[in-house]
Each structure stands twice: as structure tokens, then as C-alpha cells.
Amino acid sequence: MHSKQELEEVHKRILPYIHITPVLQSGLLNKISGADLYFKCENFQRMGAFKMRGATNAILQLSKEQQQKGVVTHSSGNFAQALSLAAKSLGVPAYIVMPSTAPQVKKDAVKTYGGKITECAPNLKDREETAEKIMRETGAAFLHPSNNTNVILGQGTAAMELLKEHQDLDFMVTPVGGGGLVAGTALAAHFFGNNCQTIGAEPFEVDDAYRSLKSGKIETNKTTDTIGDGLKTQLGDKNFPIIQKYVSEIIRVEEAEIIEALKLIWERMKIVIEPSSATALAAVLRENEKFRNKKIGIIISGGNVDLSNLPF
Amino acid sequence: MHSKQELEEVHKRILPYIHITPVLQSGLLNKISGADLYFKCENFQRMGAFKMRGATNAILQLSKEQQQKGVVTHSSGNFAQALSLAAKSLGVPAYIVMPSTAPQVKKDAVKTYGGKITECAPNLKDREETAEKIMRETGAAFLHPSNNTNVILGQGTAAMELLKEHQDLDFMVTPVGGGGLVAGTALAAHFFGNNCQTIGAEPFEVDDAYRSLKSGKIETNKTTDTIGDGLKTQLGDKNFPIIQKYVSEIIRVEEAEIIEALKLIWERMKIVIEPSSATALAAVLRENEKFRNKKIGIIISGGNVDLSNLPF
């Protein structure tokens, strides 16, 4: 249902509004892992995360008339910021539903990017009702952070850029949260790779994607006690079929392994990445026999951290 | 006494052993500063700091016979690591005198790079005596971290690379510690810039370079209570005349301003830099009227931080 050309078109469409992010290597991390690692640094993306790609594509795929009415989402994370900035760049109103309990620093970031915040009670029911009320009143289009085909295709362009630079990658490894990044990456690996397998990395503490692939239906998390705060969400009906078809495996990692990988990347590569992003390297280090002497693309998903709340 | 060609030769000599580091820009930091900032990222240099350049040049300028006997320095900071790694790359023994009180993490880093550590009491007299004893016993050559002409010229190659990429910089701003970086940068700005002024940035808490330029003689610090732990040393007779001749000004900054600049670079540019490096941006922000609408090269001197001891 998707194609190489479709991804090319998405990339061309969003290119004026995003950065082509750098690919970094580290001799020391290659040595530690026993593999050849290519880090695609979406922490250097506009607003600090890959979400900028999907948000931009999703808005651009709306009709001009719909764009004038605006877009709405409920998120307290990077997608809220990404949708706000993408909408601002395109002159489109963005309505962001955030729980009243969201940290002030996240509300401030959304405001900086021009998003109009409506607060709601911190539960799914109130979140959805508030979003629906905004849609009725403004005619804004709802855009889901990860379970939206145009968002998924946008996220896939990071891996596509990486594979165009390094065509012979054996694996592509990404964190798994709501499933948009891993699904888009798997499509890109399928269309642009040369037998490149896509692997998802997920904390044991929120291993819904791992369990979903085992059971064949979308599973949820009863608790979400992980440092990877971008990974607490579950898969959706748009991305799950893609993940089932194109993702070869989900590797689960311990919290201590995420923190260790985070520290390695900060200390050795000298780049600021968020804890969620470190799950991918953690998975490669945990299963290092599997990856020995292989060429591996690692998507560094983002770099938005709260410096006053670090795990070191 | 120095020349453009001399710096070119130094660069050519060390090139096989160093990285040509990237130059980054940040739209947001340009907006905040009202200037056009070009960050030369020596935090991505081998072993994580510009010191790699000077150490490599200084070893390469020794005779083959002298190289076989080895090199010695006393340092607990980046130069100890740089000399160890440069020596290792060149097959030269490196003897590092470190105070017994130096943090274990710094001793471990030197060992990782192959340096042979001799511990001494934590005072200048014992440090110098220990180094002299090693020189007598091994015939190793003493290399000072900052007051050595070959070290100074090596450090200047970072600014030289930056000026070759961006020839029209109005200012070059670097942190000032022992004076090697600012002196080498000033030479590079003189030979490769187009009326490019070099400015040093120094914490008020260790403003010996500021006072030295005022008094015309090398001043010392009675206390060194700064977060910029690479900036506690004083100028020397090799670099001071260069600084007097080619550095136009030293701007002093408060500790809070250093921490604010550090936070801005980590959060906005998503790169890990050490506190000493943040003094340069802090100086530009403090004196922002002076720098408004100017093109400014900022040397990010290093990225070696202790993540368990951050000021946020």
C-alpha cells in the first residue's frame, strides 16, 4: 500500500521546514559494541526531535481550507511542541490539549512555539472530550502523535536520509513508544535498505509493543515506570499492521541499561539526547552477540531533557 | 616571529592525528545574542578538547631520539589526557605527574589513554620535583600544558580552521586559562582573519589574565573558586607577550553567567560542553551591545564533564 516514491514525495514536501540531520560515529562506541554504529541525530532536528517531520507532513497533507481552521492534538510531550512549531511555520493555528498537571517547562515550550494550550483534567476521557470540543468549536483537524499515516510516513524520512547516505546497513534500531517512529523507519528500511532489518527497543517497564507482537493484538501498559518518558504510550491501529509486517523484533532493556547507554552517549559522543533515545543503543549493547561486526543505524530520536532532573 | 606559513605547517603536521571539528550555528542563540555566532566544536575533538592539537604538535616537534625517551607533564586536567593519547598515537611514552588528590575519574581517563601516572603531593613544589625526577631517570622531555610555543601554535589551528571556513569573522572569543588557547587563537586571527579581533573570556573569580593585561606583568590568583575548572591556571612567559600584542581585551564573567550560558548551549544546541567552555558565550551575552550584528567565532574548548557533578 505504500511505496518508495511515496516516501520520496513526503521528504520533498517537508524538506523546506526540517533539518537534514547529521550522522555521527564514535570510534569508542564501535569498540564497546563490537559493531559499526551510525547515529542519525534527530536531537539536532528543529525543536529537538524527529516528531517535527511527521507533524509537518500531516499538516501539509490537509486541504488549504482545513489548514486555515487549524489542527488539534493532545500530548504533553515532543509532539505538542512539534505540531506547534510546524503549524507556526505554515501559518496554521495549533490547539494543544495538555493535562493541568503537565510540567510548566513543557507548557512554556509549547507557548514559545505558538501553540494555543487548553488545559484538561489528567485523564484520557477529559483529554479526548476537550479535544473534541475544540474540534466542534473551531473546525480544527485532530492529528494523533503516532497513529496517523501521514505522521508515520514523515517519521520514516529520518531513516530514509540515513539509508541514502549508508546503503549497506544491516539493521536499523529505534526506540518504540506510540509506534510512529518504528513503523516509519521500518517502511524506509524496506524501501531503501538492502535487506536491512528494523528492530525496536523498548523498556521492560513499558513492553506493550513486545507483547503486542507476541499476542497479535494491541496491548497496553498497566504501569509506566520508566525513565523513557516518550515511550509510555501504546501502539495504534494504523502503525501496528506496519510493525507486524516490517519490524523483525522488539528488544527489551532494563532501566539501568538505558541510563548506562545515555551516559555513554553524553560522555563519549558529547551530545545531549533524551533518555527515551538511549534505549536503542541499550538494546544493541544488551544483545551485542547478535550485532557483532554488523552495520547498524541508530535513530537518536530527540534531545529535549530537563537538566534539573537528570539520572546521573 | 611567527607566520601564516608556520601555522599552515603545524596544521599539516598534526592533521593525521586530530579531527577537523564541525562548526555549528544556532538560530535561537543568534536571536538571544543579537549576533551571528559560529561555534567551533572542540568538544568533538579527539579525547574531547582542543588540547589534543597542541600536545600532538609539541611531541611531533621533538627529535626522534627524544620521542623515544618520552614526554612528561604535570596536569590533572585535559592536557594530561591529551598528552597521553597523542603520545600513544605516536608510539611515545607519556609520564603524567598528578596530585594524589586528583579525582579517580581523571586518573582512569589518563590510564585509558596509556599515560603512566606518578602521583605526588598536591602542591607545586612536589609536582615540579616529581616531574624533574622522571626527566632525570627517563630522559623524557617536559611539555608544559600552555606555556610552550609548539603547544600554542597547535591550539591556534582550531581558529585557523574556523577562519578558513568563515573568513569574515569580526571577533574570535575563547576562554582564558593558562593562555595557550587564547594566544594561539590570536595568532590565527592575526594571520588568517580580516581585521578579526581576539577576545578572551575569564571568570571574575580567576581574573589573573585580565589583571595581567592591565599591569603588564603576569599576575596570579589567590583563590580559584570557579566552576570553570580548566581556567584556574595562570599565564606564562611564552604566551603572555603574544596575548599582550594580539589579544584586544579580556571580558570577565560571573559564575551565574557561566552556568546560564552552559545551560543554553546544552539545552538549545544539544551538545555537551564543559563549564570552562561556556565562558566565551557568557562574555558575548554580557557585553551584547559590543557584539550586536557582528560575526563571532566562539571556540568551544572541550566537552569533558563529570556527569555526577553538574551545576543544574
Q: What is the DSSP string of B149-211?
A: HHHHHHHHHHHHHHHHH-TT-SEEEEE-SSSHHHHHHHHHHHHHSSSPEEEEEEEGGG-HHHH
Q: So what's the pLDDT on residue A261?
A: 98
ipTM rounded to 2 decimals: 0.94
Which grid coordinates are listed for A143? Answer: 492529528
Start-to-end CA distance of chain A, whole Å, equals 45
Confidence category of residue B103, pLDDT binned at 50, 70, 90 = confident
Q: What is the mean pLDDT of residues B272-288?
A: 98
Q: Cα–chain-centroid distance for residue A180?
A: 6
Cα distance between the two ends of chain B: 45
pLDDT at B180 over 90: yes
pLDDT at B252: 98
Considering only A102-106, A260-264, B139-143, B197-201, which range has the smallest mean pLDDT? Answer: A102-106
- The alpha carbon of residue B61 is apart from the nearest alpha carbon of chain A, in Å, by 27
B305·A271 Cβ contact <8 A: no
Rg (alpha carbons) of chain A, rounded to whole number: 18
With beta carbons under 8 A apart, name residues in chain B contacting A271: 270-272
Q: Is A267 on the interface with B (CB under 8 A)?
A: yes
pLDDT in tens, A125-164: 999 999 999 999 999 999 999 999 999 999 999 999 999 9
Fold agreement between A4-49+148-309 and A52-142: yes
pLDDT at A76: 78
Q: What is the DSSP letter of A196?
A: P
Q: What number does CATH give the domain A52-142?
A: 3.40.50.1100
Q: Residue B154 is placed in which grid cell?
A: 597547535
Pairing status of strand B116-120 against strand B141-142: unpaired
Closest CB to A44 among B270, B273, B305: B270
The answer to whether the CB atoms of B44 and A270 lie below 8 A apart is: yes
Q: What is the model's pTM?
A: 0.95
Q: What is the per-residue pLDDT for A64?
A: 97
For residue A48, the chain B residues in CB contact (below 8 A) are 270
Mean per-residue pLDDT for B115-139?
95
Residues of chain A with pLDDT under 50: none
Q: How confident is the model at residue B105 (pLDDT cuts 50, 70, 90)?
A: confident
**Rounded mean pLDDT of chain B?**
96
- Alpha-carbon gap, residue A119 to A130, rounded angstroms: 8
Report pLDDT for B106. 85
Interchain CB distance below 8 Å, B270 and A267: no
Question: What CA–CA distance (Å, rounded) separates B17 from B75?
Answer: 21
d(CA A107, CA A237): 29
Residue B152: partners with Cβ closer than 8 Å, 6 or more residues away: B54, B146, B180, B183, B184, B187, B238, B239, B242
pLDDT digits (tens, 9 = 90+) for B213-238: 999 999 999 999 999 999 999 999 99
Whole-number percent of chain B with pLDDT over 90: 93
- For position A77, what pLDDT does the model report? 86
Residues of B whose CB is below 8 A from A44: 270
Domain ranges for chain A, please list them.
4-49+148-309, 52-142
As a whole number of angstroms, the distance between CA A43 and CA A50 comes to 8
Q: Which residue, chain included where needed, has cell 632525570? A: B136
Taking contacts as CB-CB distances below 8 angstroms, the residues of chain B near A22 are 22
The verdict on A136 touching B (C-beta cutoff 8 Å) is: no
Q: Is there a contact between B144 and B73 (Cβ–Cβ < 8 Å)?
A: yes
What's the rounded Cα separation, in Å, for the pair B37 and A148? 38
Considering the domain B4-49+148-309 in this protein, what is its CATH number?
Answer: 3.40.50.1100
CA separation for the pair B294, A34 (Å, rounded): 46
Angle (deg, nearest 10), helices A180-192 and A149-165: 50
* A-B contacts at Cβ under 8 angstroms: 40
Is residue B308 within 8 angstroms of chain A, CB to CB? yes
Q: In A, which residues are within 8 Å of B310 by CB distance?
A: 307, 310, 312
Residue A274's pLDDT is 96
How close B276 comes to chain A (CA, Å)?
A: 15
The three-class DSSP label of residue B36 is strand
Residue A66 cell numbers, joined:
482545513
